[in-house]
């Protein structure tokens, strides 16, 4: 099953490689030379600078704000408060989850780091200095920090701005058949239960968030440069929120220094930059610093999951069940499709053929930063995979079975695809056993287990962790998935210029994933022109077609499909033009990569470049065929794609200090047709590194007063090359049956699949200490405590 190029049966083309394989990234020459053009590189004539005053406390009534001194500070042009925004009806903005969020505090501070006032000044220093001159009086309330206490009777009501609100409950959502699941559990030989916590973490992109707003009062046009993963959706939302007509708004998303879900939402800072520009009549730049990013922008996870799994004593898994408490912070600003308040968490049934499944998720408000974004994952797939893969390991321990064998015994079989699971998903395709066996073979699984036994006898702590995941990526279809009413589909436009050079315009937004390369490769494959002759344009709403943007590994499944289809549309059109040029009928022509030729006379043909010239030339074109070689499509995928992978992690734990070393990590991924194996490997390496971070060191923690304890990279640790091993990657290829080129997403597979493999390995290493579970992050102190039988929740 291992092969360098995938066949492309979906395109009726078995055995032909897709794309140009390991093409070097077209965007890298500018990145490696330091010539990328990021938000902070944008400098407009007369540009001013904004800075945000943030609340030092987590829960307090705003008594008064005095801005007199700040306004008098040299260089300051404006100080904007919540009251000013109220007058413009802009004090509150809709979130991506049918809630509202304060742009600037008007009534009450609801988390530490919340936006209180905005200073606009001639330079960044003056703006920041003036923040210290704003005098704010707060009347303190007790904060709600522990989500477990949020629904206690008498808990302070955080969202008293919402009429009639008497508690902190956001939603209760359930899926699956509770009664059927209960019946399976009641009759099962074995049931194991475990509380599994996925702590609050942060996407922490290298580049923080920022905006440059340029409002032209003469023609009422707003140009907004923004760090955004979804420029088109943002434009529509700004039109709705600010009342600026949509055709007068241009969003430009320049090079993005990492998004990972952090740059999906609309932050108060973006809106404030716009207000600042309207108020001063000049362009205004606002760029947050690292602490602002960590303390106030969208966090991820924060799920407390009560997991249960039922099985026969022979190890046939029958059902999974879970009750989840989801901490959404002070505003429900989580980014997920409207009908999915817990995102795609219902994929917690994993890769197993089950009789029943049921889950209930309760979302609550707490006095913490709002968000709940999918940090490098498709809408809560990470939490789901972590839960089920921990539960399967706990079951394996209970049954005294090998965790890899237990998984192999329970996989959905290849002939069961498309597989309808018990929570409403239809897995498009899969072939799990070969991936699992390949990872075991690459790892030398049997030898590792032998080595572990020997080491245990010597008192050394070595652990082997397995995880197997299935993801749900590539939302739409739009009939099922929308964000604030916008259906999840993506557009593509392709123009082939007279000389055969092409420009493809896409609605998704690269944040480092290499779209300029891979999308050119798709067009190149479909039209037979070299990828270097194809430019990929993205990140500017004036230049690209509408679409919902890049997150949840949806670019290739959705936009990649759009690009393949638009190229095929051009190819179909080219046939008519070629026929006119060759003075024959279109049905007499045959396609070979790059040219149409006369059936039975291969010498009589026209290449795409010749046809493009012909389209713009003097040949009389058939009726209904325009004089160009351009096309556009919007692709609404019929289903999501379901990539999967088998991961094996080997750790050594220092029995004296609790320090965990990830010694080896084997990752076998299946993302269907592989466009660019080099880019795929890069995506996997990055995601695995993310996984090490979450498993071992990352947590956004708070003290009892709601002070964020993780506001810098001194406290919020992220992994470097020092903490990770040389990744060992492999792959199988199971194309998506419905995707135009058979491709599934890959961008986030490794972030999703790696944390359970690492934690499973650590728990496995700690078996001699009787440890059956521990929560992330597995820092040395926490591992050591677990060894003493004192595991504590994060």
* In the complex, minimum distance from the CB of residue 641 to ligand CDP, in angstroms, rounded to a whole number: 9
Residue 553 binding ligand CDP, by CB under 6 A: yes
**731: alpha, beta or left? (left if phi > 0; alpha if psi -120 to 50):** beta
CB of 640 to ligand CDP, least distance (A): 12
Least CB distance to ligand CDP at residue 488 (A): 12
534 scored as a contact of ligand CDP (CB under 6 A):
no
DSSP assignment letter at 676: -
- The residues with which 565 forms a beta bridge, in sequence order, are none
The reply to whether 751 sits near ligand CDP by the rule CB under 6 A is: no
| C-alpha to C-alpha distances, 495 to 45, 492, 501, nearest whole angstrom | 33, 10, 8
**Contact (Cβ atoms closer than 8 angstroms) between residue 548 and residue 555:** no
> Can residue 382 be called a binding residue for ligand CDP (CB under 6 A)?
no
Binding segment toward ligand CDP, per CB under 6 A, in 80-88, 384-392, 509-517, 780-788: 509-517
Per CB under 6 A, 514 contacts ligand CDP: yes
Position among 283, 745, 755, 777 found at the interface with ligand CDP (CB under 6 A) = 745
**What would the two tokens of residue 621 be?**
């074109």
249-257, 336-344, 499-507, 550-558 -> range binding ligand CDP (CB under 6 A): 550-558
Minimum distance of ligand CDP from residue 109's CB (angstroms) = 35
- Listed residue (270, 306, 313, 309) closest to 391, CA to CA: 309
d(CA 661, CA 723): 8
CA distance 48 to 43: 10
User: How near is the Cβ of 213 to ligand CDP at its closest, in Å?
Assistant: 27
Nearest to ligand CDP of 672, 740 (CB atom): 672
Draw the binding track, 669-688, toward ligand CDP (x: CB under 6 A; -: no contact). Answer: --xxxxxx--xx--x-----
Distance CA 149, CA 83 (A): 32
Question: Which of 104, 646 has the CB closer to ligand CDP?
Answer: 646
Shortest spacing between CB 265 and ligand CDP, in angstroms: 17
With respect to ligand CDP, which residue has the nearer C-beta, 553 or 754?
553
User: CA angle 375-791-687, nearest 5°?
Assistant: 25
**235 or 739, CB closer to ligand CDP?**
739
Shortest Cβ 485–ligand CDP spacing (Å): 22
Kindly report the backbone phi and psi dihedral angles of residue 126, in degrees, each rounded to the nearest multiple of 5, phi listed first: -60, -40
Rounded CA-CA distance 264/261 in Å is 6
Part of the chain binding ligand CDP (CB under 6 A), chosen from 87-95, 429-437, 666-674, 684-692: 666-674
Strands (E) across 190-313 are located at: 190-201, 210-216, 221-226, 249-252, 284-287, 300-311
CA 370 to chain centre: 17
From residue 704 to residue 743, the character string flagging contacts with ligand CDP as x (rule: CB under 6 A) and all else as - is ---------------------------------------x
- Could you tell me where the DSSP H helices lie in 464-601? 515-527, 561-582
* Min CB(552)–ligand CDP separation in Å: 7
Residues 328-347 binding ligand CDP (CB under 6 A) are: none
* Given 515, 538, 575, 738, the residue binding ligand CDP (CB under 6 A): 515
Query: C-alpha angle with apex 211: 208 to 213, nearest 5 degrees?
Result: 175
CA distance 572 to 420: 35
Of the pair 490, 652, the CB lying nearest ligand CDP is at 490
CB-nearest residue to ligand CDP? 747
User: Contact at 8 Å (CB) between 269 and 209?
Assistant: yes
349 phi, psi to nearest 5 deg: -75, -15
Taking the complex as a whole, the smallest distance from the CB of residue 742 to ligand CDP amounts, in Å, to: 8
Q: Which lies closer to ligand CDP via its Cβ, residue 223 or residue 683?
A: 683
- Which of 279, 354, 252, 226 is CA-nearest to residue 87? 279
Q: Provide, rounded to whole angstroms, the least separation between the CB of residue 747 and ligand CDP.
A: 3
Nearest to 377 by CA among 341, 335, 330: 335
Q: Checking phi first, is residue 351 left (phi over 0); if not, alpha (psi -120 to 50) or beta?
A: alpha
Backbone angles phi, psi at 76, to 5 degrees: -85, 130
- What is the DSSP code string of 69-130? HHHHSTTEEEEEEHHHHHHTT-SEEE-TTS-EEESS-SSEE-STT-EEEEEEESSHHHHHHH
Strand pairing of 169-176 and 356-364? antiparallel
**Minimum gap (Å) between residue 713 Cβ and ligand CDP:** 24
**Which residue number, 293 or 518, has a Cβ lying nearer to ligand CDP?**
518
Nearer to ligand CDP, 298 or 332 (CB): 298
- The residues with which 169 forms a beta bridge, in sequence order, are 364
Member of 67, 431, 507, 518 binding ligand CDP (CB under 6 A): 518
Q: In the complex, what is the shortest distance from the CB of residue 516 to ligand CDP, in angstroms, rounded to a whole number?
A: 9
550 binds ligand CDP (CB under 6 A): yes
Query: What is the nearest approach in angstroms of ligand CDP to the Cβ of residue 203?
Result: 12
From the CB of 622, what's the least distance to ligand CDP, in Å? 35
Altogether, the residues listed in the chain come to a count of 794
641 touches ligand CDP by CB under 6 A = no
Does 689 engage in binding with ligand CDP (CB under 6 A)?
A: no
Instruction: Name the segment binding ligand CDP (CB under 6 A); options: 58-66, 292-300, 569-577, 667-675.
Output: 667-675
Among 507, 555, 607, 729, binds ligand CDP (CB under 6 A): 555
CB of 555 to ligand CDP, least distance (A): 3
The reply on whether position 321 binds ligand CDP by CB under 6 A is no
Regarding 506 and contact with ligand CDP (CB under 6 A), the answer is: no
Number of residues that bind ligand CDP (CB under 6 A): 23
Binding part of the chain for ligand CDP, among 105-113, 276-284, 551-559, 615-623 by CB under 6 A, reads: 551-559
With beta carbons less than 8 A apart as the criterion, state whether 460 and 663 touch: no
* Strand-pair category, 221-226 with 461-470: unpaired
Angle between helix axes 677-696 and 749-765 (nearest 10 degrees) is 40
User: Does 470 contact ligand CDP by CB under 6 A?
Assistant: no
- In angstroms, the Cα distances linking 555 to 258, 476, 507, 635, 673 are 15, 11, 9, 11, 14
**Tokens 């005098």 -> residue:** 135
Options 185-193, 219-227, 283-291, 510-518: segment touching ligand CDP (CB under 6 A): 510-518
The nearer residue to ligand CDP, 516 or 610, going by C-beta atoms, is: 516
* Residue for token pair 């407009």: 44
Q: What is the DSSP letter of 380?
A: T
Find the part of the chain contacting ligand CDP (CB under 6 A) among 141-149, 610-618, 631-639, 745-753: 745-753
Answer for the pair 120, 80: CB distance below 8 angstroms, yes or no.
yes
Complex with ligand CDP: residue 518 or 729, whichever CB lies closer: 518
Conformation bin of residue 379: beta by default, left when phi > 0, alpha when psi is -120 to 50: left
563 lies in the site for ligand CDP, by CB under 6 A: no
CB of 244: closest distance to ligand CDP in angstroms?
A: 29
Q: Is 268 among the residues that bind ligand CDP (CB under 6 A)?
A: no
Shortest spacing between CB 558 and ligand CDP, in angstroms: 8
Candidates 8, 67, 253, 556; binder of ligand CDP (CB under 6 A) is 556
Q: How far is the CB of 32 from ligand CDP (least distance, A)?
A: 17
Q: How many CB atoms are located within 10 Å of the residue 685 CB? A: 17
In angstroms, the CA 170 to CA 327 distance is 10
Of 95 and 518, the one with the shorter C-beta distance to ligand CDP is 518
Q: Which residues bind ligand CDP (CB under 6 A)?
A: 513-515, 518, 550, 553-556, 671-676, 679-680, 683, 743-747
């Amino acid at each position: 099953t291992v092969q360098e190029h995938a066949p492309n049966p979906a395109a009726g083309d078995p055995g032909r490689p897709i794309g140009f394989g390991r093409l070097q990234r077209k965007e890298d020459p500018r990145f490696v030379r330091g010539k990328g053009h990021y938000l902070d590189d944008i400098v407009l004539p007369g540009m001013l600078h904004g800075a945000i005053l943030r609340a030092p406390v987590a829960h307090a009534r705003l008594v008064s704000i005095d801005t007199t001194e700040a306004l008098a500070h040299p260089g300051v042009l404006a100080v904007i408060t919540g009251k000013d925004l109220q007058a413009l009806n802009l004090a509150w903005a809709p979130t991506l989850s049918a809630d509202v969020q304060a742009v600037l505090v008007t009534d009450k501070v609801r988390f530490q780091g919340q936006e209180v006032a905005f200073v606009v000044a001639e330079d960044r220093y003056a703006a920041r200095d003036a923040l210290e001159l704003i005098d704010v009086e707060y009347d303190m309330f007790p904060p709600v920090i522990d989500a477990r206490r949020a629904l206690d009777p008498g808990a302070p009501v955080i969202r008293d701005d919402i009429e009639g609100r008497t508690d902190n409950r956001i939603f209760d959502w359930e899926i699956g058949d509770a009664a059927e699941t209960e019946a399976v559990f009641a009759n099962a030989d074995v049931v194991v239960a475990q509380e599994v916590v996925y702590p609050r973490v942060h996407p922490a992109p290298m580049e923080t968030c920022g905006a440059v707003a340029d409002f032209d009062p003469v023609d009422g046009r707003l140009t907004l440069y923004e760090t955004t993963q979804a420029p088109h959706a943002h434009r529509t939302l700004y039109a709705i929120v600010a009342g600026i007509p949509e055709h007068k708004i241009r969003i430009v998303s320049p090079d993005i220094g990492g998004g990972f879900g952090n740059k999906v939402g609309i932050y108060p800072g973006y809106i404030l930059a716009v207000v600042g520009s309207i108020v001063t009549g000049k362009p205004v730049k606002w760029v947050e610093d690292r602490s602002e990013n960590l303390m106030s922008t969208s966090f991820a996870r924060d799920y407390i999951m009560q997991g249960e799994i039922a099985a026969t004593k022979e190890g046939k898994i029958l059902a999974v069940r879970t009750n989840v408490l989801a901490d959404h912070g002070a505003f429900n600003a989580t980014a997920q499709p409207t009908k999915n308040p817990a995102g795609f968490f219902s994929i917690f049934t994993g890769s197993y053929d089950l009789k029943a499944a049921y889950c209930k998720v309760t979302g609550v408000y707490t006095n913490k930063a709002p968000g709940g974004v999918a940090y490098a994952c498709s809408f809560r797939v990470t939490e789901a995979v972590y839960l089920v893969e921990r539960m399967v390991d706990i079951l394996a321990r209970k049954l005294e079975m090998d965790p890899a064998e237990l998984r192999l015994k329970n996989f959905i079989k290849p002939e069961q695809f498309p597989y309808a699971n018990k929570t409403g998903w239809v897995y498009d395709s899969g072939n799990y056993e070969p991936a699992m066996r390949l990872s075991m073979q690459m790892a030398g699984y049997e030898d590792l287990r032998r080595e572990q036994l020997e080491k245990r006898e010597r008192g050394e702590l070595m652990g082997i962790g397995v995880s197997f995941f299935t993801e749900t990526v590539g939302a739409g279809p739009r009939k099922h998935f929308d964000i604030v009413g916008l259906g999840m589909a993506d557009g593509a436009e392709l123009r082939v210029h007279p000389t055969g050079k092409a420009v493809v315009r896409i609605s998704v937004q690269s944040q480092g994933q290499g779209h300029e390369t891979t999308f050119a490769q798709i067009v190149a494959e479909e039209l037979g022109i070299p990828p270097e002759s194809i430019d990929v344009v993205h990140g500017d709403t004036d230049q690209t077609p509408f679409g919902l943007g890049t997150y949840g590994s949806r670019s290739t499944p959705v936009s990649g499909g759009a690009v393949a289809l638009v190229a095929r549309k051009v190819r179909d059109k080219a046939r008519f033009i070629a026929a006119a040029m060759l003075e024959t009928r279109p049905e007499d022509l045959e396609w070979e990569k790059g040219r149409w030729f006369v059936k039975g006379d291969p010498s009589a043909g026209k290449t795409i470049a010749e046809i493009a010239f012909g389209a713009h030339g003097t040949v009389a074109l058939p009726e209904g065929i325009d004089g160009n070689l351009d096309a556009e499509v919007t692709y609404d995928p019929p289903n999501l794609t379901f990539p999967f992978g088998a991961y094996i992690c080997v750790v050594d734990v220092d029995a004296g200090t609790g320090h965990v070393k990830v010694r080896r990590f084997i990752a076998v991924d299946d993302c269907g047709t592989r466009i660019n194996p080099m880019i795929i490997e890069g995506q996997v390496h990055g995601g695995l590194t993310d996984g090490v971070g979450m498993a071992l060191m990352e947590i956004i923690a708070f003290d009892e007063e709601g002070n964020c304890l993780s506001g810098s990279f001194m406290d919020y640790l992220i992994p470097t090359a020092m903490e990770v091993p040389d990744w060992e990657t492999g792959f199988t290829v199971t194309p998506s049956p419905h995707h135009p080129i058979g491709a599934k997403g890959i961008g986030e597979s490794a972030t999703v699949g790696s944390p359970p493999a690492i934690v499973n390995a650590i728990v496995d290493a700690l078996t001699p200490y009787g440890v059956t579970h521990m929560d992330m992050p597995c820092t040395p102190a926490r591992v050591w405590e677990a060894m003493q039988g004192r595991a504590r929740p994060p």
